[in-house]
Amino acid sequence: MNRRRSRRLRRRLAVIAVYAPVLAYAAAIIVPLYYLLVSAFKTNTEIALDPLGLPDVLNFDKFAQANRSVELLAASGNSLFTALGSVVVTIALAAPAAHGIAKRAGAFSTFAQLLFGLAFLIPQFAVIVPTYLLAVRTGLIQVPLVFLILFYAAMNMPVAVLLLIPFFRAIPKEIEESAELDGAGALARMRHVLMPIVTPGLSTVAVLCFLAAWNEYIFAQVMTNSSSYTVQVALPLLRSEGAFQGANVDLGRLAAGVIISVIPVFVMYAILRRRLIDAFAAGAVKG
């Protein structure tokens, strides 16, 4: 009797010992995000006096201020344009490549797949200077957002191809052959027969590529200027230079800016969370 009770106590202690650090870390993620969210609706005095309390009224002044001082909405528009554009280019090139690799077994296919796998390990950042010089030499630096579209497409190419290969491999040969017998050309087969079947794969890849492009910071920082800032480049401008020497910032305004910049990705995450994680895990496995 006594022994059973002590065993139960031990098990309960074990559960607490496991859950305590897990929940502490979960709190370390949630509390700062919550702090940011409520701060965006408060005055800076309210933030200082009652950091975690809910705001008394939903005050959108800080959002308006954040937008006015660094034109965050215009910058979000630039980001949206760049991210969508790069997704289109990525898919247009990656889908045929994945199809080619999936359907034609041979030395070239194996080699191409290996190259894209290795490409995972070529760090983009290492080539930031030559990439900048490429933009200058081709004159594309005059249209930074177009250059970013082309560049992000290249940056996302390996992961897009690798993720799409298994989707194309899963299509039975017969489907494509019968379309071929019906006289459909390669392009028509891709558009009307294959694309609809691999839509789940395409949408996952599209979302991953969109997120990567939307969130990219350092290349956008180097390429864009004040008339073409993306949202990631405009956001840090909300903080004064003095902050680097330890001055306080207008936290409410900064928080409002952060929220504007993360809304699109949170919406996508809410819709496609499961698929994203699976895709990421699978992509990482195959890399």
Partner 1 sequence: MAEVTPALAWYGTFMVLPLLAMIVLSFFTWNSLVASPKPSGLENYRYLFEDEILRTATVNTIAYVGVGLALIIPMAFLLGFFLSRRPPGHAILSIIFFTPWIVSASARAMMFTGLYQPAGAVNSILSLVGLEDWGRLWLADPSTALWAVIATEAWAGIGSTAVIFSAALGRIPNEVYEAARLDGAGTWREIVSIAYPMSKDFVGLMTMLQFLWLFLGSAGTVLLLTKGGPGSNTMTLAFYLYDQAFISGRIGYSQAIAVAGLAVGLIGMGIIRYAFRTKE
Q: Which two tokens stand for residue 261?
A: 């910049």
Instruction: Name the residue among 25, 26, 49, 27 with its Cα closest to residue 251.
Output: 49
Nearer Cβ to partner 1 (43/221): 221
- Segment 162-201, which members bind partner 1 (CB under 8 A)? none
Figure out which of the listed residues 45, 122, 181, 183 binds partner 1, where binding follows CB under 8 A. Answer: 122
Q: What is the Cα–Cα distance from 18 to 34, expressed in whole angstroms?
A: 24
Nearer Cβ to partner 1 (1/130): 130
Figure out which of the listed residues 38, 72, 94, 162 binds partner 1, where binding follows CB under 8 A. Answer: 94
Q: CB 282 → partner 1: shortest distance, Å?
A: 8
Residue 91: burial class (beta carbons within 10 Å; 0-12, 13-18, 19+): buried
Residue found by looking up tokens 């497409």 in the block: 153
Nearest-5° angle of CA 241, CA 245, CA 248? 75
- Segment 11-30, which members bind partner 1 (CB under 8 A)? 18, 22, 25-26, 28-30
Contacting range for partner 1; rule: CB under 8 A; set: 55-63, 67-75, 171-179, 272-280: 272-280
Q: What is the Cα–Cα distance from 118 to 287, expressed in whole angstroms?
A: 7
Contacting range for partner 1; rule: CB under 8 A; set: 67-75, 177-185, 191-199, 251-259: 251-259
Contact between 82 and partner 1 per CB under 8 A: no
Residue 81: burial class (beta carbons within 10 Å; 0-12, 13-18, 19+): middle
Nearer Cβ to partner 1 (59/100): 100
Q: What is the Cα–Cα distance from 38 to 162, expressed in whole angstroms?
A: 41
Q: What is the Cα–Cα distance from 2 to 4, expressed in whole angstroms?
A: 5
Contacting range for partner 1; rule: CB under 8 A; set: 55-63, 69-77, 91-99, 175-183: 91-99
Q: CB 23 → partner 1: shortest distance, Å?
A: 8
Contacting range for partner 1; rule: CB under 8 A; set: 5-13, 173-181, 194-202, 212-220: 212-220
Question: Residues 6 or more apart from 75 whose CB is under 8 A from it?
Answer: 229, 230, 231, 233, 234, 235
Contact between 32 and partner 1 per CB under 8 A: yes
Question: Residues 6 or more apart from 34 whose CB is under 8 A from it?
Answer: 52
Q: CB 204 → partner 1: shortest distance, Å?
A: 14
Figure out which of the listed residues 73, 80, 84, 112 binds partner 1, where binding follows CB under 8 A. Answer: 112
Contact between 101 and partner 1 per CB under 8 A: yes
- Segment 123-162, which members bind partner 1 (CB under 8 A)? 123-134, 136, 150-151, 153-155, 157-158, 161
Figure out which of the listed residues 13, 88, 247, 271 binds partner 1, where binding follows CB under 8 A. Answer: 247
**Helix (H) or strand (E) segment spanning residue 181:** helix 173-181
Q: What is the Cα–Cα distance from 202 to 166, expressed in whole angstroms?
A: 12
Contact between 69 and partner 1 per CB under 8 A: no
Task: Please name the amino acid found at residue 188.
Answer: A
